[in-house]
Structure 1
Amino acid sequence: MNVYALQKFLDRSNFKRFHYSLLFCCLFIISFEGYDLVVYGSVVPTLIKEWSLSPVQAGVIGSYGLFGMMFGSIILSSLADRFGRKKLLIVSVIFFSSFTTISGFANGPVLFSWCRFLAGIGFGGALPTVITILSEYIPKEKRNKAITLALCGNQVGGILAPIVSVLFLSSIGWRSILWFAAIPLLLIPIMNKVIPESIHFLTRNGKVDVIEKTLNKIDKGYKEKLQEEYNDSESKSPSVSFFALFKNKLALSTFLFCAVYFMSLLMIYGLNTWLPKLMEQSGYPLVSSLGFAISLNGGALIGTIILGVMADRKGSKKLLMGMYILGAVCLALLGIKSNSFLLYSLVSITGVCTMGAQSLLNAFVSQYYPNDVRSTGIGLANGIGRLGGMLGPTLGGMLLSFNIPITLCFIAFALPGLFASIFLIFVKKSSSNESLSYQESMKVNFNK
């Protein structure tokens, strides 16, 4: 049976216990990745005072994690396509959980910065791999909803970080907030049991027994259904290449996706790092400012689920363009004094149109590329996008250090949303709508 038939079987399978377990496990991983990513924004006002940091220094430290994320997205995602996506996902979780926890023991900015960088490598490897595994195993009609639901973990973590900060920052201190990141390390054995290896990786390497064991969890009658999907084609040698992203009319879209990710992540990480501080500068107390961070991520959480449902019905591209434009408008309006209800509403809508749109963008891109380069494609876009993510915290620090008016600070973070929408206009329709492999006809015999 060839890999084309395998993917067709997975696309058309029913959503069962196997899928629920996989989805929950991926949601858990992304939730703690999200927590570890944004927790710096919750402790940065305290670190500025304790370590006598300037806003620019604090912004640069915030960028170190995203710098590591760039390396992780490109390097680990490429290795995942070659050596196994499950293995690299587990390694990524160990990286970001361990080094975020260790950063809680840092006595100065140097060790803290190194820990953020090394944790960032894990951040970069986890997200594209989770998306790729879900794209392979979740039935096609549920795929957008499942991926966007898993990526809601970013918002769950984004809400959890300021909540933990509000509960423990004043009583126990900022270090305990970082130690909370150790929880995923305790659950590595469960992740290893629940998460399956990529079906395309297993097929390329002839792991028939592992494939059969996995398919049996999905549907005990898989052999008969696979026979119905059988497509007798000539076998081709496997070829997984980074340069495949720039072949078969994919080059322009690859460049555009990188640009969209750059703009999108600039907004997201700039806001997650500096929103509490910007609101504090506007006259709100720190606890109230952390409330805006909760509102930002809470709006994104609810909006992401709605966007996933809408994308399955309406398509992703136009929806994304509209979200980025609306997000830019709301961001710009945040710099204008208004009543609390309107302010919290704008923050929530901004969360939907930035972080929620980013989750939908990941789902869109994951199904744009063929399976053999899916992790590599998402990893490249996320990796280049991290340059924008790195710029966001640094840009915020520079604007604050130059005493730029708060209104102009928000406008500076709003403009990338307009550029992201413009870049999406030129993304061509995917030539691989069925999300098939470049070596569709590779065959594996399932008959004992």
Structure 2
Amino acid sequence: MTTTNIRDFIAQARFNRFHAGMLFWSCFIITFDMYDLVVYGSVLPVLMKEWQMDPIQAGAIGSYGIFGMMVGAILFGILADKLGRKRVLMASIILFSLASALCGFAPGPLEFSVLRFLGGLGIGGILPCLIAMLTDYAPKGWANTFIAVLMCFFSVGGILAAFVSMLLLPTLGWHAVYFVAALPLLLLPLMNKYFLDSPFVLLGQGRIGELRTALAKVSPLAAIPENTQFIGLQEKENGSPVAALFTNRRALGTIMIWVAFFMCLLMINGVSIWLPKLMVTAGYALNSSLVFMIVLNAGAIAGTLLLGKLSDTWGVKKVLVPMFVVSAISLTLLGYGSNMVVLLVLVFITGACTMGAQNISYSFVSQYYPSFMRSTAIGLASGVGRLGAIVGPTFGGVLLTLNLPVAMNFLFFAIPGLFAALAFAFVPLAVKAREGQEREDGPDTVPYASAANAT
């Protein structure tokens, strides 16, 4: 009987049409994931007038979606490792797409709020499944690049929401803007063959035929003998995947990752919400302040792609720690800048080193933990990070009520970046070889991880 090391088989594969299709449909889903979140802001003025809502009610409805995302990331992340990622991913797509489309039929704020929460649940479950799947099936040297490209499409979704709203709101009304969200549901059969369960689940559940089919898609030209024995995957540890986050010397790393995600999303959401206001306070016109937001997001896209490539070369941790330090420095300097060109450069760097680094952080988490608990780890890190996303806008509001100098406001927003850098610096990376687990992918390895580029 011959043996096939699954991890080595996937690592040695060449990028092909299947990988391109898997990445394309993943990016498509993320685009509509963000579309659903952002489009609420586009229709909000119309809804407030039609349903006679005050700002507090409108803000609460916006929070329901974010709260749903936090719950969905944790709940569906755990379920994905238990039931299989493909099943949970499909359920999440159906839930968020259907709930979003039904928002167009909502007769009032109550029904709209319930649908926003349900849509948020589905949205929360999508990212842990997609990131884990891309990590599972990425050839050697491609994992961080895959995830970097994926995360860029959050920005594409925001742009799409703006354009669709501009096109449909004046002619067809706000209802039609939400009907567009049904598109992923309609195209689900086309993307079905590109979404796969993890090799660990397929092997563990005895679905050998599906495992062989998945590996044939990953490397069509590589022959797998009929009587082969599959090896190379870490055995599932006793207990739940949640408990496994704190066993086998993972506890410190897990806590530090959660701290980093909380701090980074607090900083990102706070800056994203309040940057225009801070620049207006500093004496710039509103239109100029909106330009800063465009540059901030452009920096995020460029930074994500660049940092993803650098992470595949040097390792994620070696990229993340200095980038968060640079983000804190650039944010602090924004408070002292006066030349427009210098300010735009600083804003671009801030976007690259805050949003860009946060996007790559998901890649770090996906490679820090073994396959059997990967979706759980990503879901919980994302859920804790969402708490920071909720705190960030409030944190900025409190700062503005204190009437501090503009430079001090930017300094306080920079401090969480330093905490994020410090937290990632304390995530322990150690070599822990097990039978079938030895691999030489990079300069360091992480505890029990199935890919070594998370260094």
TM interval, shorter chain, is 0.7 to 0.9
Write the deviation string for residues 332-353 of structure 1: whole angstroms up to 9, x where unpaired: 4445574543443333222211
**Distance in 1 of aligned mates of 2:317 and 2:419:** 14
Report the equivalent of 2:420: 420
**Distance in 2 of aligned mates of 1:199 and 1:406:** 52
**Distance in 1 of aligned mates of 2:3 and 2:58:** 49
TM-score by length of 1: 0.84
Report the equivalent of 2:70: 70
Report whether the alignment pairs 1:364 with 2:351: no
| Cα distance, 1:42 vs structure 2 | 4.9
Report the equivalent of 2:326: 326
Report the equivalent of 2:32: 32
Write the deviation string for residues 16-53 of structure 1: whole angstroms up to 9, x where unpaired: 11111111111111222223234445556776787564
Report the equivalent of 1:268: 268
1:24–1:437: structure 2 CA closer, same or farther, 3 Å change rule?
A: farther
Report the equivalent of 2:376: 376
2:368 aligned counterpart, secondary structure: coil
Mean Cα deviation higher: 359-368 or 178-187 = 178-187
| Equivalent residues of 1:144, 1:308 under 8 A apart | yes
Report the equivalent of 1:96: 96
| Cα distance, 1:166 vs structure 2 | 5.3
Report the equivalent of 1:241: 241
Report whether the alignment pairs 1:141 with 2:141: yes
1:199 alignment partner AA: P
1:321 alignment partner AA: V
| Equivalent residues of 1:299, 1:348 under 8 A apart | yes
Mean Cα deviation higher: 6-15 or 263-272 = 263-272
1:420 alignment partner AA: A
**Distance in 2 of aligned mates of 1:2 and 1:282:** 69
Mean Cα deviation higher: 18-27 or 336-345 = 336-345
- State the number of aligned residues: 439
Structure 1 stretches of 5 or more lacking a match?
A: 441-448
Report the equivalent of 1:131: 131
Report the equivalent of 2:453: none
Mean Cα deviation higher: 4-13 or 362-371 = 4-13
Correspondences of 1:148-227 after superposition (within 5 Å): 148-165=148-165, 176-224=176-224
| Equivalent residues of 2:16, 2:218 under 8 A apart | yes
1:115 alignment partner AA: L
Write the deviation string for residues 190-235 of structure 1: whole angstroms up to 9, x where unpaired: 1212212222111111112212222222334544489999659998
| Equivalent residues of 1:86, 1:197 under 8 A apart | yes
| Cα distance, 1:321 vs structure 2 | 1.6
1:18 alignment partner AA: F
Write the deviation string for residues 113-172 of structure 1: whole angstroms up to 9, x where unpaired: 433322221222111111110111111221111121122222222333344455566676
Write the deviation string for residues 223-258 of structure 1: whole angstroms up to 9, x where unpaired: 448999965999889865321111110010001101
1:60–1:266: structure 2 CA closer, same or farther, 3 Å change rule?
A: farther
1:296 alignment partner AA: L
Mean Cα deviation higher: 382-391 or 35-44 = 35-44
| Cα distance, 1:410 vs structure 2 | 3.9
**Distance in 1 of aligned mates of 2:48 and 2:411:** 24
| Cα distance, 1:411 vs structure 2 | 3.8
1:333–1:131: structure 2 CA closer, same or farther, 3 Å change rule?
A: same
Report whether the alignment pairs 1:83 with 2:62: no
1:405–1:175: structure 2 CA closer, same or farther, 3 Å change rule?
A: farther
1:331–1:171: structure 2 CA closer, same or farther, 3 Å change rule?
A: farther
1:315 alignment partner AA: G
Identity percentage over the alignment?
Answer: 46
Correspondences of 1:250-265 after superposition (within 5 Å): 250-265=250-265
Report the equivalent of 2:114: 114
**Distance in 2 of aligned mates of 1:339 and 1:192:** 51
Report the equivalent of 1:445: none
**Distance in 2 of aligned mates of 1:287 and 1:104:** 31
Report the equivalent of 1:446: none
| Equivalent residues of 1:132, 1:374 under 8 A apart | yes
1:437–1:328: structure 2 CA closer, same or farther, 3 Å change rule?
A: closer
Write the deviation string for residues 343-387 of structure 1: whole angstroms up to 9, x where unpaired: 433332222112211111111111111111111111111111111
| Cα distance, 1:261 vs structure 2 | 0.7
| Cα distance, 1:86 vs structure 2 | 0.8
Correspondences of 1:1-16 after superposition (within 5 Å): 5-16=5-16
1:236–1:392: structure 2 CA closer, same or farther, 3 Å change rule?
A: closer
| Equivalent residues of 2:2, 2:228 under 8 A apart | no
2:361 aligned counterpart, secondary structure: helix
1:108–1:391: structure 2 CA closer, same or farther, 3 Å change rule?
A: farther
2:206 aligned counterpart, secondary structure: coil
1:297 alignment partner AA: N
**Distance in 2 of aligned mates of 1:234 and 1:340:** 53
**Distance in 1 of aligned mates of 2:314 and 2:448:** 27
| Equivalent residues of 1:166, 1:290 under 8 A apart | no
Report the equivalent of 1:443: none
| Equivalent residues of 1:265, 1:385 under 8 A apart | yes
| Equivalent residues of 2:70, 2:384 under 8 A apart | yes
2:249 aligned counterpart, secondary structure: coil
Q: Which has the higher contact order (CA 8 A, sep 6+)?
A: 1
Structure 2 stretches of 5 or more lacking a match?
A: 433-437, 440-444, 451-455
**Distance in 2 of aligned mates of 1:46 and 1:405:** 35
**Distance in 1 of aligned mates of 2:159 and 2:32:** 11
1:320 alignment partner AA: L
